[in-house]
Amino acid sequence: MAELRIGCLVMAAGSGSRFGRNKLEAVIDGKTLLRRALEAVPREEFACVTVVTQYDGAAALAEEFGFAVVRNDRPEDGLSRTVRLGTEAMAGCDAIMYQVADQPLLERDTVRREVELFRAHPDRIVGLGHNGVRGNPCIFPRRFFPELMALTGDVGGNVVIRAHPESLLLYETAAAELRDVDTVEALAAIRTEKIM
């Protein structure tokens, strides 16, 4: 069987409304959330990596990593537009991993093992999870691209997963890796725990 072509979409276009500003520039241990997200991508596992963003700084950092950049000129349309733009850009792939950019404790090796699990089950949606609770990132086979592209508003792949619960397969990881930074308080909590 031919090697699966898997793309990686890093979703970095949100306006951080709950955070109060562009949270991707927030720093933990000297690194921004976005840099941490890009460092968590095991580049060798993917046929291509695309970063969808509205920010010049994010685009420049993505290019520094050698990743493709797609501009989201209408971030106010919600997460679905980022999903659509990234899926269109990598429509030639057999699957795409959709990765949020605000999980600062996500480990590169965990992502690599998640991709390995998907390669063993290429007909399934594979997500990270802890104790049966799904988190991100999630990998979708090509057969779900039409549904992902049809999303509207501020929703993402969770809508597609809820429509196909029988297709979901979880790769178990530590709860900390699934934590995201939606608020200033969440950022402060992670900073405090890393110091302790």
Q: How many residues does the chain have?
A: 196
27-28 vs 168-172, strand pairing mode? unpaired
Cα gap 108→105, rounded to integer Å: 10
Taking the chain (196 residues) in consecutive chunks of 10 residues, what is each chunk's mean pLDDT?
88 74 84 95 97 95 97 92 97 97 95 98 97 96 97 93 97 93 80 61
Q: Which residues pair with 128 in a beta bridge?
A: 171
Q: Is 30 left (phi over 0), alpha (psi -120 to 50) or beta?
A: left
**Whole-number pLDDT of residue 194:** 61
Q: Which of 43, 1, 2, 31 is nearest to 10 (CA)?
A: 43
String of DSSP letters for 147-193: HHHT--SS--THHHHHH-GGGEEEEE--HHHH----SHHHHHHHHHH
**Cβ contacts of 5 within 8 Å, gap of 6 or more:** 47, 92, 93, 94, 95
Residues 6 or more apart in contact with residue 157 via CB below 8 angstroms: 83, 98, 125, 138, 140, 148
pLDDT at 25: 87
Give the pLDDT of residue 162. Answer: 96
pTM of the model: 0.93
The confidence score (pLDDT) of residue 195 equals 45
User: What are the helix (H) ranges across the chain?
Assistant: 33-39, 56-64, 79-89, 108-120, 145-149, 158-163, 175-178, 184-195
pLDDT at res. 1: 47
Half-sphere exposure of 168 (CA within 13 A, CB side): 21
pLDDT at 39: 97
- CB neighbours of residue 135 within 10 Å: 20
